[in-house]
Structure 1
Amino acid sequence: MIDWSTCPAVERDPARVSGAWLFCGTRVPVAALFENLEDDASVHQFVEWFPGVTMEQARTVLEQSARSALAVA
């Protein structure tokens, strides 16, 4: 499991979107990025489709995910 608490691009508030990890300043769940990538969307498309999420935030989330995967391996 990824520890999002150290990722500066995301935030969690139990009162918003059922406490899911969200891109900072948005109501877009981090999970939406991975779901769209699994459906063959590009990161550029995701950022276009979800205004408020920046390319920098998306890259930071992907980097955090990669670091977590390497730590487990």
Structure 2
Amino acid sequence: MNYGAINIDPETMGGTPVFTGTRVPIQALFDYIETGETLDEFLENFPSVKKEFALQVLKMASKTLTTEKSLYENFA
């Protein structure tokens, strides 16, 4: 399944969500942010990830975590 910036395919990394067109797990972006690194540092270390895709993923996360309905459906 392709969700724009995110691709989920059992044949790629066992179905782990990755950035479209890469084998870079989405989780890697959040790991970088969690440790205080910047988006630019992430992109420098993963040059196959398009900046627009990284920004789309962050926007998707923001929408998921700032909407009560989405929070209830996903985390309640």
Give the TM-score category using the shorter length: 0.7 to 0.9
Q: Residue by residue, what CA displacement relative to the aligned partner does 1:40-63 show, whole Å, maximum 9, x if unpaired?
A: 110011011001101111100000
Contact 2:2/2:8 (8 A) holds in 1:
no
Alignment pair present for 1:23 and 2:19: yes
Which of 1 and 2 has greater Rg? 2
Per the TM alignment, residue 70 of structure 1 is displaced from its structure 2 partner at its CA by 1.3
Task: State yes or no: 1:36 paired with 2:32.
Answer: yes
The percentage of aligned residue pairs carrying the same residue is 33
> Where does structure 1 lack aligned partners over 5 or more consecutive residues?
none
SS of equivalent to 2:36: coil
Q: Which structure has the higher relative contact order (CA within 8 Å, separation 6+)? A: 1
Partner of 1:56: 52
- Cα shift readout 1:13-53 (whole Å, capped 9, x = no counterpart): 10111210000000000000000111111001101100110
TM-score normalised over the length of structure 2: 0.83
Unaligned runs of 5+ in 2: none
- Give the aligned CA root-mean-square deviation in angstroms: 1.6
What is the aligned residue count?
Answer: 69
Q: 1:21 to 1:53 in 2, by over 3 A?
A: same
Contact 1:9–1:23, Cα closer than 8 Å, also in 2 = yes
